[in-house]
Structure 1
């Protein structure tokens, strides 16, 4: 028997703020639903297993049900039952037999146990989701916990890294430390593990400024994965946008405070915290999915439904449903969530999964959408880093370069072009020129800057850098889908053997190609993003879709061996070069225009003869060796600092054979100083060896070089 409904202790309370708010005198409960007829607050014992009583929220104001419970306190366990029409064909799926999580819950208790009772319809019924299921789902559901958000932050300050100096490091909270030998065992795979001083020291050594975390919002494991003995490792299956995932806390009930402690320690080391957030869909799936929260609270408001068949969901995400950011209350929930993580949890920015979804209106993508306007005008959100994954699978979903000013975007054109160039594809020269110069063809409009292009060569989704040079084909057999999942177009090459080999020549080429790609990434205009572990040659054994691999396939192996040590040292050299020469991270787009004040061109492209490339060179599909000449003297104005007026020559040879390259003449130049040659092991490289103007340098096949121009000392005026 369900507990009796009790209304004697509840008063009307307030409709704002939404969620469960501890006031010091009790807890105010407020839940939005435009179409419900009644909302019951369900209170549970401390374990969340026994429902103690149900209290009908007494007031309904501006589509918000609300009530104040004076004897509720932080730690109170609760959830909701929402009454209303069960009319799937009209878009309504209310079912009070299904316990529902508060969209604004700050903390959760327990785990979801998949069962047919979680579904609003009767699975197996002839009418499918048009049927109505009367089983109670409470015993299978996690619950919400009232939280007192008070936390002593002390002297915590956001690092506020300028965009021009930003380098992202994409990682997974668990995966980065699960196998780390210097992290205490009880901290491995947790928020505390990521905050370990040895882990932070390594991240800092790479020049990284901002740690980008795969999703840590409260999320669920898919039932089909659990049936196969797997879990949703990446976490792109959110159900609560205000609560940190319990699974990454040493003590799950204290995830709230442990996350904050991690942020404080990263901030103390000068590192920003960027969250990968999934506001485009939820874990409830399509019309055949479970009723866990939004679907049972107000399905027609929270999700985009087919206009003429509201039983079905618009699926621009590929996950079954699409969150309806066109609804003002749903937009409010997302922006409230963002502000909460900035204001209360002190995070420094967000990477928006399938960001195009968030900027969709009923007629399609709009870079003046309500969501983008809300973020851009909000003084709190406009002051943090906002990064879009600028695509989805819906009509017109690919929008790289089209987000509004103030946003940065993942640039997959950079990824594919640089991969294609180094693997030896034809006709990549012209596109490579654009990508290395900050992708001005995509981003140089409306006052946007080169940093708007987030350059990356590998990310969580796809091959690691090591696997790009080790496998021709994906190897996702461990996922249990007969290797059908994941991308097949990886722009990779194994150089003669599929997988690891003992062949020294193949291994030498592979390691040099990794160095080539790392160097290209760090020396390009734009904002670099490094995938955790690529700095020491991490492998996923050819798996390019390790979303369900919570094991050694995904966890970073910190036993680097000699190859890993060499790559880490090389990456650290690249970070030092990017820091030393600001011309590599200019705040404005460089052009090939002659700069009258300095008498030089800021950007030139050269062919092996040392002469400037012409249209025929750019159009030649066989152009695989070219050089970028950056002249830092081409500045409009401003204070000159060391390195700002440096002239740098980067030569890239993607041919498999050596090319003779003539080092060009340059105004005031006396010699070229070699800073980098990916063909030379660090211990064998002469410290900044000098070469005469006009020297013919033998550029090894598949290698990259960087020179700086040594100039005559200018006479003081």
Structure 2
């Protein structure tokens, strides 16, 4: 082993990289007594200590080339004086880490990686936002439970094993909670920093071994597991504890490749505290696009350079999600070539939850949220996410139950806008169970009919519960691990979700590229979107009103998709009593047919245009008259679709034959002349 110098140092990218026959180590430090420690990867034995010299330095960056080492057999760390400094630019770390185990600086030994992975012609799907259905998941929690029945539980490989399930569920895009390397257990220095922020007077002038400080540390800043990972991380390395093998880099790439082969996308959450420099953030994102073929990023953190990130030319076709984008500034008042930005906020969540539980004064806001598609960005809509209640808990709990977090139930959001349907927590009462099932179906129906991009949190599709914990940031256990037994237990919920996603996929009028205009701009006799109340075309928007009929005209899909869709009518009644809604008259040859009703026991009562009334769950009339009124049960949604009217076609055929016969029987004067 030897060190070498070049005439001009090239320290970037930082970290350790193979160049010709040497390994180049680059390290940022303001100290002079710093260098590299090399270890045997198999035995862990230190094999060399290589100091940096003044000749290796450019500004505050040191760069040294070391020859004669096998990059595949070594691990390394940097040092400053007597302090070990893990490489925060490392592409990977040695060993197979157990999740939740406390690690000190000396445990973080980085490895030198290569770019030898065979992508097999991999291409990113680049799906349009209107065609996406997003599934937010925690890599470990998704398959860690034994009921997942995957070989590689809690890992990237385990995610790939569930690909068939995700595709059958209607998912196109998976959003991963932090899957880059981070420490689950805070170090002593981190805990003292947190204590200093909470009790600066206590820490001032105190000795590190002070019993008082240790007592306060254990009380105010205990060693709790950071299950989610929203903290400073090693942003260039996939999380080793999420890999079944010791090569997390390859396993992550194999997962991405498997998703792309199925036409599915992977979007990563990245949390950046204010200590991460702005330019470094853009470099991190571009690294994951180039090295791992990631499809997008949900950006989180303090004072992020969003305009800089969104304006980066290399990220122009990479999905970027944030709570706000100044599109006039980003696009210089122009338009994007490809819509890659998307607004990701809780506005939809709060509005739809309040409407779902029957709050008044919500109807106008609900209609706005359901049709909203920003001009230059996409929009992510969800009623549940990793924070807050799951969909099942949203209809099972009035209050949060975070006692297990060890903060006396003070943590987590107090404004959940949930309703327990009559009993707090699990219930054996049939009435409560039936109402909860109906409310979940109502929520799924609203999501399916919302424009732009719907998102659900993992397990919501089959009624997963977190026992009322709306902030399980430290729960690495059955609270956050999906119990896949619920898939059979709540099979009706899962089947309904799949039906809603199939309905959305098969009807392009529910997936418009741009916001519907509520106008008849193709002169077909119907607006693209219309609202209806007890009288057709007359929706009542009074604050006390909790019911509405929404009609989608499929004729408009000819403009964007080249094919004409059906008419769809969504009836929503979130009042605790049944109500009446009118349905518009369809073009000749079509009639309304009931597709779904979330109140399966009550069914629907329909009335024809005359005095004759018809009842039944199928919603069909027994004559050729057009259905104009429905009686919709309390707290329920119903979906109608236009279908060919066979009776009308039959009568029209008879009429056509009669006219033809009459014409044939008339005298023919065509061969006669006037003279």
Q: TM-score range by the shorter chain?
A: 0.7 to 0.9
CA–CA distance in 1 between the matches of 2:142 and 2:293? 21
User: Match for 1:194 among 154, 159, 183?
Assistant: 159
CA deviation digits over 1:511-532, x for unaligned, max 9? 1000110111122101011111
Partner of 1:145: 111
Range with greater deviation from structure 2 (452-461 or 218-227): 218-227
Please give the secondary structure, in 1, of the residue aligned with 2:599.
Answer: coil
Q: Which runs of 5+ in 1 are unaligned?
A: 1-5, 83-95, 119-136, 282-320, 326-330, 360-366, 392-398
- How many corresponding residue pairs? 592
Partner of 2:309: 371
Partner of 1:168: 134
Please give the secondary structure, in 1, of the residue aligned with 2:141.
Answer: coil
Distance 1:143 1:604, change over 3 A: same
Range with greater deviation from structure 2 (238-247 or 580-589): 238-247
CA–CA distance in 2 between the matches of 1:107 and 1:561? 36
User: Match for 2:83 among 90, 98, 101?
Assistant: 98
Distance 1:40 1:372, change over 3 A: same
| 2:67 corresponds to 1:70 | yes
Larger Rg: 2
Please give the secondary structure, in 2, of the residue aligned with 1:473.
Answer: coil
CA–CA distance in 2 between the matches of 1:50 and 1:206? 50
Distance 1:233 1:407, change over 3 A: same
Partner of 2:268: 275
TM-superposed deviation, 1:655: 0.2
1:159-308 paired onto structure 2 within 5 Å: 159-181=125-147, 183-185=149-151, 187-196=152-161, 199-223=162-186, 230-251=224-245, 253-278=246-271, 280-281=272-273
Partner of 2:344: 410
| 2:23 corresponds to 1:27 | yes
- Contact 1:598-1:635 at 8 Å conserved across structures: no
TM-superposed deviation, 1:242: 0.8
- Contact 2:392-2:463 at 8 Å conserved across structures: yes
| 2:389 corresponds to 1:463 | yes
TM-superposed deviation, 1:230: 4.2
User: Match for 1:16 among 8, 12, 19?
Assistant: 12
CA–CA distance in 2 between the matches of 1:682 and 1:54? 78
Distance 1:61 1:562, change over 3 A: closer
User: Match for 1:659 among 579, 590, 602?
Assistant: 579
Partner of 1:699: 632
| 2:36 corresponds to 1:41 | yes
User: Match for 1:339 among 270, 286, 289?
Assistant: 286
CA–CA distance in 2 between the matches of 1:64 and 1:599? 69
1:663-678 paired onto structure 2 within 5 Å: 663-668=583-588, 670-678=590-598
TM-superposed deviation, 1:632: 2.4
CA–CA distance in 1 between the matches of 2:48 and 2:241? 27
CA–CA distance in 2 between the matches of 1:585 and 1:682? 30
1:561-640 paired onto structure 2 within 5 Å: 563-613=489-539, 617-618=540-541, 620-634=542-556, 637=559, 640=562
TM-superposed deviation, 1:388: 1.7
CA–CA distance in 2 between the matches of 1:464 and 1:402? 36
CA–CA distance in 2 between the matches of 1:235 and 1:138? 18
**What TM-score comes out, normalization by structure 2 length?**
0.81
| 2:92 corresponds to 1:107 | yes
Q: Which runs of 5+ in 2 are unaligned?
A: 192-216, 605-614, 653-675
TM-superposed deviation, 1:554: 0.3
Distance 1:695 1:592, change over 3 A: closer
CA deviation digits over 1:667-688, x for unaligned, max 9? 4464212121111279999896
CA–CA distance in 1 between the matches of 2:19 and 2:317? 29
- Contact 2:311-2:330 at 8 Å conserved across structures: no
Partner of 2:672: none
Distance 1:234 1:61, change over 3 A: same
**What TM-score comes out, normalization by structure 1 length?**
0.76
- Contact 1:39-1:65 at 8 Å conserved across structures: no
Partner of 1:290: none
Distance 1:558 1:491, change over 3 A: same
Partner of 1:421: 355
Please give the secondary structure, in 2, of the residue aligned with 1:357.
Answer: coil
Partner of 1:296: none
TM-superposed deviation, 1:138: 5.4
Partner of 1:312: none
TM-superposed deviation, 1:264: 2.0
TM-superposed deviation, 1:18: 2.5
TM-superposed deviation, 1:596: 4.2
CA–CA distance in 2 between the matches of 1:627 and 1:389? 30
Distance 1:565 1:683, change over 3 A: farther
Partner of 1:300: none
Please give the secondary structure, in 1, of the residue aligned with 2:84.
Answer: coil
Partner of 1:363: none
- Contact 1:156-1:268 at 8 Å conserved across structures: yes
CA–CA distance in 2 between the matches of 1:639 and 1:171? 31
User: Match for 1:647 among 567, 574, 583?
Assistant: 567
CA–CA distance in 2 between the matches of 1:10 and 1:42? 18
Distance 1:259 1:233, change over 3 A: same
Please give the secondary structure, in 2, of the residue aligned with 1:600.
Answer: coil
Distance 1:72 1:522, change over 3 A: farther
Partner of 1:130: none
Please give the secondary structure, in 1, of the residue aligned with 2:417.
Answer: coil
CA–CA distance in 2 between the matches of 1:249 and 1:114? 14
Distance 1:639 1:216, change over 3 A: closer
Partner of 1:394: none
CA–CA distance in 2 between the matches of 1:206 and 1:588? 25
- Contact 1:625-1:651 at 8 Å conserved across structures: yes
Partner of 1:396: none
| 2:543 corresponds to 1:546 | no
Please give the secondary structure, in 2, of the residue aligned with 1:175.
Answer: helix
Partner of 1:86: none
